[in-house]
Amino acid sequence: MADVTKNHECLMQLLNNSWHTPGYCGPTFDAILCWPEVPPNTTVRINCPVSVEDIVYMKGEATRYCQPNGTWENVGNYSSCRPHGLEDDPITPFHAEIMYWIYVIGYSLSLIVCIFALLIFVHYKSLWCLRNIIYKNIIAAFTIHNITWLLFALVSLHLPVASVHEIVACSLPIFVLKLCVCAAFFWMLVEVFYLFVNVLFGFHVQKIRFWMCSAFGWGVPAILSLATVLRDYHSVIFAGCWNWRQTHLDVIIIIPILIVILLHICINRALSIARHQLRTCPLPSGQSILVEFDGLLLFRHCLFISRATCGSVFLFQK
C-alpha cells in the first residue's frame, strides 16, 4: 500500500512542475516506474514493478542514480528484479558458475571443430561446388554463433550496460545470435531442398544459383531477427540490457523455424522413399549413388540434430 501511495505522489509531482526543486533530479517516468524528486548524488531504490510485459515480478529493487549535476542516469537498473516463481531458485552461485563454464567449454570445442571444417572447405578447391558451399554456410552459421556467444558471455560479465549508447553493444550480439540460430535452420532447408532436386530432378539442379540460396539462407533470417530487435528496442531503452539477456520464446522466430522443420521432415520423407528406390535400382551405378546418398543423409542428420539442440537451448532458455 505504501508503494502505491509513493507512486501516486510521484505521478502527481510529475504532473505539477511547480513542485520541482532547483538543482534536484526532477520526477520522471521511464514507462515502467515513476522516479521521485531526489537531491543530487543520490541512488534511489524502488520496489520492482508488479508486472512488465505480462511478466510478474514479486521481489527485488530497481535503482537509479541522480548525478551530482542534478540529472538522472539515462536508464534505471532493473537487474535485481526477479520474476515470480524464481524466489526459491535452488541454483546456487557455485552451480551457476559450473553451468557457465560447461557452456563455455562446449561452445569453445564446437568453435574449434567448425573452424577446422571451414579450413578444409576453403583449402581444397575441389570442394568448391554449390553443394559444399551450402555446407560451408551452415558451418559458418555455427561458427559465428559460437564466437558471438563466447564474446557476449565473457564481456557482459565484466562490462554491464548502463547507458543508452551502450545498449547498441547489447542489441548487436542478440541480433547476431538470433540471426545465426535462424539461418542455420534455413540453410539446412536449402541443403535438403538442393539434395531433393539433385536426386529426383537432376536436370533442373543447374537452375539453382548461389544468390537464391543466400537470399533464403541469410536474407529471410536477417529480416526476422531485425524485426525482433526493433520490436524489443523500446523496452530495452528503459529496462536495460538485462531485459534481452532474459531470452524468451519469440514467435517471430520460432514459428518460421517450426515451419522449416516441418518442411524438412516432409522432404526427408521423400528422400527416404528415393533412397529405398535406389537400393532396388538394377543399374551398375546404383550402388555408388546409394553410398554417396547415404553419406549425405548421415551428415545432414548430424547437422540437423546438433543445430536443433543448440537452437532450442537458445530460444527456450530463461
Contact 310, 145 (CB under 8 A): yes
The grid coordinates listed for 130 are 554449390
Q: CA nearest 236: which of 248, 251, 219, 222?
A: 248
Low-confidence ranges of the chain (pLDDT < 70): 1-20, 30-31, 49-59, 82-92, 156-170, 201-205, 232-249, 274-318
The grid coordinates listed for 201 are 530432378
For position 316, what pLDDT does the model report? 40
Question: Would you say the C-alpha torsion 167, 173, 177, 179 has a positive or negative sign?
Answer: positive
Tell me the per-residue pLDDT of 71-95, one tens digit each, with 9 for 90 and over: 888 777 777 776 665 555 566 677 7
* Angle ∠(155,56,152) on CA atoms, nearest 5: 10
For position 47, what pLDDT does the model report? 79
Neighbours of 164 (CB within 10 A): 12
List every span in the chain annotated with CATH 4.10.1240.10. Answer: 2-83
For position 275, what pLDDT does the model report? 67
CATH class of 2-83: few secondary structures
List every span in the chain annotated with CATH 1.20.1070.10. Answer: 93-316
What is the phi-psi region of residue 23: left when phi exceeds 0, alpha when psi lies from -120 to 50, beta otherwise? left
What is the DSSP code (8-state) at residue 31? S
pTM confidence score? 0.61
For position 247, what pLDDT does the model report? 46
CATH class of 93-316: mainly alpha
Which residues pair with residue 64 across a beta bridge?
44
For position 223, what pLDDT does the model report? 92
